[in-house]
Each structure stands twice: as C-alpha cells, then as structure tokens.
Amino acid sequence: MKKLLLIVAIAAFSLGMSANDQKAAKADTTKAKCEMKDHVCTSACKDGKHVYAHGEKGHVCTEACKKAK
C-alpha cells in the first residue's frame, strides 16, 4: 500500500513539473513577438503631434486595438 501511494505521489509530482515547464515556454515566445519598431511619421502626424501605429515605439494599445488583432 505504501509503494502504491509513493508511485501515485511521484506521478502527480512529475505531471505538475511538466505542466509548469510548458507554461514558461509559452511566456518566452510571447515576449519575443513584442519587439517595437521606430516611429515613422505619416500624413496622420500633424503640428508636432504624432499618431503611432500598432507595433511602433510609443504606441499604447487600447481596447479597439486589441479587438482588431
């Protein structure tokens, strides 16, 4: 009986460790996709006020921007 409980405990521990590794791997790939480009002015930029496109340095995502993805 003790051996059975030990085997179950080891199995649960190893499953828990593998689930943790997969989550950490996902987080690393998400960060790599977030590289920002330098801003390039367009016709929308007027009188010293810049309009930053998604993916440019200085852009802050809004709810509308997140829905467009």
Looking at residue 7, its pLDDT comes to 92
State yes or no: pLDDT of 10 exceeds 80.
yes
CB atoms within 10 A of CB 53: 14
Alpha helical stretches, state H, the chain = 2-32, 63-68
Looking at residue 32, its pLDDT comes to 45
CB atoms within 10 A of CB 50: 15
User: pLDDT (tens digit, 9 = 90+) per residue, 20-58?
Assistant: 555 555 554 444 456 788 888 989 899 888 888 888 888
Determine the Cα–Cα distance for residues 1 and 11; give it in Å rounded to an integer. 16
Cα 1 versus chain centre, distance? 45
Looking at residue 19, its pLDDT comes to 61
